[in-house]
A and B are shown apart, each in its own frame.
Chain A
Amino acid sequence: MTWYNWLPLLILGTSLVPAVWIFFLREESYRTRTAVNLGGAVLKLVLVALLFAEVRQGHEIVFEYQLMPKLTMKFQADPLSLLFVSLSALLWLLTTIYAIGYLEESPNRSRFFGFFSLCVSTTVGIAMAGNLITLLIFYELLSLTTYPLVIHRGNAKSLQAGWIYLAFTMFGGAVLLVGVIWLQSLGGAIDFRATGILGELPEASYVRLQVIFWMLILGFGVKAALVPLHGWLPVAMVAPAPVSALLHAVAVVKAGAFGIVRVIYDVYGIEFSRTLGLLTPLAVLASVTIVYGSVRALYQDDLKKRLAFSTISQVSYIILGSAVFGPLATIGGIVHLVHQGVMKITLFFCAGNFAETLGIHKVSEMSGVGRRMPVTMAAFTLGALGMIGVPPLAGFFSKWYIGMGGVENGQYWVPGVLVISSILNAAYFLPILYTGWFGRQDHEWHGHRSFPARFETSLSLLAPALVTAALSLLFGVFAASPFSPLYWARFIMLGEY
């Protein structure tokens, strides 16, 4: 075993060790906690870069450890896991910076950051899991580590949200567990491999494989907030802004979507999935979710709730792209994993900034906020336009490829769904932009605390939002460059067909 095979474990450790360390820190040791947090995040980013370099040199990176017979813990660095792991490493760093600024002087910070780091560890575990069992374990752990974050505020509403969250995810987890074990009993160890591994099974087992597929989709679909399993997400937005940001952009929702992508591409294989006739129903389900989420978002006045419904809709783009057969749609779906992440995290950062700085929670209170906080509003604008799919922002290119994939596959309703969703996106995002930029202030704003006058809000709240907003623009403008997510998604696609 060469040294680089330990890299996945090291990357896991860069957030696991800080997590444990932070739990033992006293509440007041602000500096140590910040140093440990940021140190871990930066180190993780460096290690991910190293991992990239090693994979680029053609090394196959696998770490295996047998827990018990037939139960192997396996981590691997394939193109898809690299995409997800680098997304989470980057956004974790930014969210940590944001959270440090956001939670300044609030109680229970050690508990918060401890679970925060744990949550990221589990996400990284999901990203690098090399077989279905490992993925399942970390997927379950994710539910448990995010629960304390959701109820962090500790009031009745948070606890209620926490219960709903647990109920949904535990149910999904249980179904997933049964599905995985059943699949294991049919096909042996389920290692992830591009183009899938189930294609060789005898035809007699096809019906069972179909049932198992839907069990797996049900299990992952809870976190991916597929309609009708989405009920927990709008409720969970009571969590603090950095948690919502992480929940909606990298950790929970994305883990569900990532799981579905894994199942389609690396367990069943896209071509075998088509043979089993699984893709079209899934694409229809995703489309229903896309339209449903957008329509529900239209009628929300609470800013974070509107964003939550928007997430329901946008995450299903990933699933839609993955469930439409053909390389173009695959590119669109996989790249949206990253694009949706940077855009949605920007929006939640900004929503948090409005809430912390001016006490704004509702869209109707936002009149004239563009004058008071132009930079935050500009970042929000980029994120929102990206969600609508205005070129050249990142979201446009996701839609471009998914739409082309639909045409390629003869599913002409796919561009239709994209159009309906984009119009609805415009209908619920553009009024926010109008209110923010063109409205006249008609509410007194009461921020939770005061900020130094140099910037419109504290720098650690402003900078992450700016960086992610810039990324949503740059990922689109330089979509064809070899450093873009689109380029990488194309590379992943090449392995799957």
Chain B
Amino acid sequence: MTGWLLLVSVFWPLLLVGAMGLRLTRRFALRVAPWAALPALAAALLLPDGVAVGLPWVFIGSAFALDALARAFLIFSAALWLAAGIYASGYLKATHDAREISFFSWFLATMGGNLALIPAQDMVTYIVFFALMGFSAYGLVVHDPTSQNLRAGRVYISMTVLGEMAAFVGLLWAAYLAGGQTGFTVSVTALQASPYRDVILLLLFTGFGIKLGVMPLHVWLPLAHPAAPTPASAVLSGVMIKTGLLLWLRIFPIGTGAGDWAGVLVGVGLFTAFAGALIGMTQTHPKALLAYSSVSQMGLAAIAVGIGLATAGKSTAVMPAIALFAAHHAFAKGALFLGVGLAACETSARNRRLLAAGLAICGASLAGFPLTGGMAAKGGLKYLAAGVEMPWSGLLEWLLPLTGITTMLLVIRFLCIAAARPGEPHGAWNPPMFVPWAVLVSGVLALPWLALAMGWVGVKQAGLYPAGAWKAAWPPLLAVFVAVAVWNMPRMRSALSRIRIPTGDVLSVFVLLLERSLALFRFSIESPSRVIQGIPSALLAQWKQHHGTLLQRMARYENFTLGMLLMTALALGMAWMLWP
């Protein structure tokens, strides 16, 4: 019974998409669409532990369960979707967008895919809804069909397809190793014992790393996230990228001391964390900058997974720490994106100050400033990293705080751009836009205390003691100092502001490679095909030249007769050969 409640609540957005398609129920669906994530949020908060439902007839045996990981992901995902949905109803009014039905159809389909994959306990169910989410989000990216957004859409869909492909091979291979079974728990054990473990992990790392945005698989992300309408950007950057993370957590051998893969993930993660922040600073569009910030933060998430792989002892602490990190990023990044939309609205000076304060809080939280959710999230990572034997671990100890500096610099740059209000001004500031944003900001502040109260993290882990707070405070403060210093050096400032890296950075390299290989491919396929096709038609032409009139006459009247004659001849021949 409770299992079915879980199913209905995560499938509710998909039911609404169906209702949107029928004229009879369209008005109802449109009215409740902003609240579509509410049942899932309620289910995540209220349903007891161990809720599970198996659907053996669906796909090749499908299973859903609300385990601890699913519950954590479902809470922050549904919460941000809910906030974005309510925000969207105000945003569409403020931007005078009449295409409500189109927007909410894609929005709900994407939401349905995202929410339904979280409690999925087998690979096929996961990838089904992963695909639904990925393909539906295309409609959000190109909602405003400018040529720039269409390009972003093309890049997005290409990378989505590539990701699906790597994921497809990785998952089917893992399923094969598990004797055709697709359950996560079975395949994790089977994967562990297999000599092909590394290839499969590489495939899954690539396939889902594209969604997560680890470098250099991130090229689509800074283009696609800003292209979507602001509420959709918030969920794209806030929760949807974390579906890649969730699959890693489901299938990677966490807590088994897999040092080699830990090295890969930590290495890639560190690079992503720094490069994402540095490239982000050269962006001029606030949403593009935030997208780079997401890339950078997901680098940290990759580091977290890497640490999780390397740990052998503290494995029970790994999942809560990563979930807390993901939840914090969802709230903070969601609030920052929604704030970009609010900043473009007409409003009073008081509201503007409030907005600036809220954005500053969220930004500082991303950098792990004391007493914010970010401190607890980062503190958890540092706690995990301490004492874990793995490649890079010496480097990690002093590089991890440094990410706080780059993140804070990025945030300061963001606040400067957002204050300048670029782009088209929106209409009036309205409560459906403001309230969800304010709730998310308070969530960012409340998170460490909530986590503490719920027992997800200990005091020590969250760094909620004086010395810990100081440790968390110095990198952001140093960043502020650097920013102020640069601001006061006009030469330096103008030199730095001249650095421009095109959004999507190495994308152009990708595109060039793709175009070259496609051209080569086409040439190598078409030239032999011309020969293959040429021979029969040349023969036919020759034949026609000699037997043209006869052929035409037969074609006009006697095709069928000829066929019959041939057939009879064949039959006679057959009879003759078979006769004893």
- For B62, the chain A residues whose CB sits under 8 A away are 480
Chain B residue nearest to A230 in the complex (CB): B532
The smallest beta-carbon distance between B375 and chain A, in angstroms, is 40
- Per the CB 8 Å criterion, the residue count for chain A at the interface is 60
A147 and B168 contact, CB distance less than 8 A: no
Q: Nearest chain B CB to A38's CB is how many angstroms away?
A: 26
Contact A419 B563 (CB under 8 A): no
Which residues A162-180 have CB closer than 8 A to chain B?
A: 162-164, 166-167, 170, 173-174, 177
**Roughly how many angstroms separate A233 CA and B61 CA in the complex, as a whole number?**
38
Interface positions of B from 498 to 525, Cβ below 8 Å from A: 521-522, 525
Contact B560 A147 (CB under 8 A): yes
Q: Report B-chain residues with C-beta under 8 Å of the C-beta of A423.
A: 161-162, 165
Q: Does A58 contact B (CB under 8 A)?
A: no
Report the number of A-B residue pairs with Cβ-Cβ less than 8 Å. Answer: 132
Q: Check if A159 sits within 8 Å of B566, measured CB to CB.
A: no
Question: Does B490 sit at the interface, judged by CB under 8 A?
Answer: no
Enumerate B530-573 residues with CB–CB distance to A below 8 Å.
Answer: 532-533, 536, 540, 551, 555-556, 559-560, 563-564, 566-567, 570, 573
Q: Answer yes or no: A86 CB below 8 A from chain B CBs.
A: no
Q: How distant is A313 from chain B, measured CB to nearest CB, in Å?
A: 12
A228, B555: Cα distance in complex, Å: 26
- Is B142's CB under 8 angstroms from A477's CB? no
> How far, in Å, is A184 (CB) from chain B's closest CB?
7
Assess whether B61 is in contact with A480, with CB atoms less than 8 Å apart. yes
Interface pair A426/B161, CB less than 8 Å apart: yes
User: By the criterion CB–CB under 8 Å, are B580 and A70 in contact?
Assistant: yes
Selected contact of B128 from candidates A141, A391, A418, CB within 8 Å: A391
Residues of chain A contacted by B579 (CB below 8 angstroms)? 69
Contact A480 B165 (CB under 8 A): no
The distance in angstroms between the C-alpha atoms of A38 and B293, with both chains bound, is: 63
Whether A480 and B176, one on each chain, are in contact in the complex, defined by CB atoms closer than 8 angstroms, is no
Cα distance A186–B555 in the bound complex, in angstroms: 40
Q: Which of A141, A144, A479 contacts B59 (CB 8 A)?
A: A479
A480 and B60 form a contact (CB under 8 A): yes
Known: A391-B127, A415-B173, A480-B61. A140 touches B560 (CB 8 A): no
Q: Are A389 and B168 in contact (CB under 8 A)?
A: yes
Cα-based distance from A147 to B555 in the complex (angstroms): 12
B249 at the interface (CB under 8 A from A): no
Residues of chain B from 378 to 401 with CB closer than 8 A to chain A in the complex: none
A407 and B577 within 8 A (CB): no
Of chain A, the residue at the smallest CB distance from B170 is: A415
Task: Kindly state whether residue A399 has any CB partner on chain B within 8 Å.
Answer: yes
CA distance A476 to B127 in the complex (A): 13
Complex: chain A residue closest to B161, CB-CB: A426
Shortest CB distance A24–B (Å): 17
Contact of B131 among A151, A164, A231, A390 (CB under 8 A): A390
Chain A residues, Cβ within 8 Å of B555:
159, 162-163
Residues of chain B within 8 A (CB-CB) of A164 are: 536, 540
B162: nearest residue on chain A (CB-CB)? A423
B58 interface hit (Cβ, 8 Å): yes
B-side interface mostly: helix
B146 contacts A by Cβ under 8 Å: no
B271 interface contact, C-beta 8 A: no
CA distance A418 to B235 in the complex (A): 32
Cα A415 to Cα B203 in complex, Å, equals: 12
Contacts A403-B172, A404-B175, A438-B142; A231 near B533 (Cβ below 8 A): yes
| Interface flag for B349 (CB, 8 Å) | no
Could you say which residues of chain B place their CB within 8 Å of the CB of A416? 169
Docked-complex contact B567 and A162, CB < 8 angstroms: no
Query: B-facing mask of A17-42, CB < 8 A → 1, else 0?
Result: 00000000000000000000000000
Contacts A147-B563, A181-B574 given; indicate if A438 touches B525 (C-beta within 8 A): no
Question: Chain A contacts of B157 at CB under 8 A?
Answer: 430
A295→B521 contact, CB < 8 A: yes
User: Provided the pairs A231-B536, A415-B169, A438-B145 are in contact, do residues A480 and B56 lie with their beta carbons within 8 angstroms?
Assistant: yes
Query: Are B529 and A292 neighbours in the complex by a CB distance under 8 Å?
Result: yes
Q: Which residue of B lies closest to A156 (CB)?
A: B555
* Nearest CB on A from B298, distance (A): 24
The 0/1 profile, CB within 8 Å of A marked 1, for residues 53-75 of chain B is 00011111110000000000000
Q: Which of A159-207 contact B (CB under 8 A)?
A: 159, 162-164, 166-167, 170, 173-174, 177, 181, 184
- With an 8 A cutoff between CB atoms, is A400 at the interface? yes
Which chain B residues lie closer than 8 Å to A163 at the CB level?
540, 551, 555, 559
CB distance from A387 to the nearest CB of B (A): 13
Q: When chains A and B are docked, how far (Å) is the Cα of A397 from the Cα of B175?
A: 13
> Does A108 sit at the interface, judged by CB under 8 A?
no
A400 touches B559 (CB 8 A): no
Across-interface contacts of B521 in A (CB, < 8 A): 295
Least Cβ distance of B450 to chain A in Å?
36
With A391-B128, A419-B168 already in contact, the answer to whether A404 and B180 are too (CB < 8 A) is yes
Q: Choose among A299, A328, A389, A480 the residue that contacts B58 (Cβ–Cβ < 8 A).
A: A480
Most chain-B CB neighbours within 10 Å: which of A147, A159, A404, A480? A480
Instruction: Please measure, in the bound complex, the distance between the C-alpha atom of A478 and the C-alpha atom of B61, giving whole angstroms.
Output: 9
Q: What are the residues of chain A within 8 A of B142 when measuring CB–CB?
A: 438
Residue B449 at the chain A interface, CB threshold 8 Å: no
B564 to chain A, nearest CB (A): 7
Residue of chain B at shortest CB distance from A416: B169
Interface string of A414-433 (1 = CB under 8 A from B): 01101100110010001000
Pick from B145, B540, B578: contact of A70, CB under 8 Å: B578
Interface residue A368 (Cβ < 8 Å from any Cβ of B) = no
Known contacts A140-B567, A407-B173, A480-B58, A399 near B145 by CB under 8 Å: no
Question: Are B525 and A295 closer than 8 Å at their CB atoms?
Answer: yes
The distance in angstroms between the C-alpha atoms of A181 and B576, with both chains bound, is: 11
What residue in chain A is nearest B574 (Cβ atoms)? Answer: A177
> B residues within 8 A CB of A388?
161
| CA–CA, A438 and B529, complex, Å | 33
Q: How far is the CA of A408 from the CA of B196 in the complex (A)?
A: 12
**Hey, which chain A residues are within 8 Å of B162, CB to CB?**
423
Instruction: Say yes or no for B135: interface residue by CB 8 A criterion.
Output: yes
Q: Which residues of B contact A418 (CB under 8 A)?
A: 168-169
Contact residues of B between 34 and 85, Cβ < 8 Å to A: 56-62
Report the minimum CB–CB distance from B376 to chain A (whole Å). Answer: 37
Q: Which A residues, 235 to 294, have Cβ-Cβ distances below 8 Å to chain B?
A: 292
Residues of A within 8 A of B58 (CB): 477-478, 480
Does A392 sit within 8 A of B, measured CB to CB? yes
Q: Does B489 contact A (CB under 8 A)?
A: no
Residue of B nearest to A439 (CB): B145
Q: By the criterion CB–CB under 8 Å, are B172 and A400 in contact? A: yes
A153 at the interface (CB under 8 A from B): no
Q: With contacts A295-B521, A404-B180, A480-B56 known, is A181 near B578, CB below 8 A?
A: yes
**CB distance B575 to A68 under 8 Å?**
yes
B residues within 8 A CB of A292? 525, 529
- Chain A stretch 366-415: residues in CB contact (< 8 A) with chain B: 385, 388-392, 397, 399-400, 403-404, 407-408, 415
**Can you pick out 12 interface pairs between chain A and chain B where the beta carbons lie within 8 Å of each other?**
A69-B578, A69-B579, A144-B567, A163-B559, A184-B578, A389-B168, A391-B131, A392-B128, A404-B173, A404-B180, A419-B168, A423-B162
Q: Chain B interface (Cβ within 8 Å of chain A)?
A: 56-62, 124, 127-128, 131, 135, 142, 145, 157, 161-162, 164-165, 168-169, 172-173, 175-176, 180, 521-522, 525, 529, 532-533, 536, 540, 551, 555-556, 559-560, 563-564, 566-567, 570, 573-575, 577-580
Beyond A295-B521, A480-B60, list 15 extra A-B contacts (CB 8 Å). A68-B575, A140-B570, A144-B563, A151-B559, A162-B555, A163-B540, A181-B577, A181-B578, A328-B176, A328-B180, A403-B169, A404-B175, A407-B176, A415-B169, A480-B58
The 6 closest A-B pairs by CB, nearest first: A481-B57, A391-B128, A392-B128, A404-B176, A419-B165, A403-B172
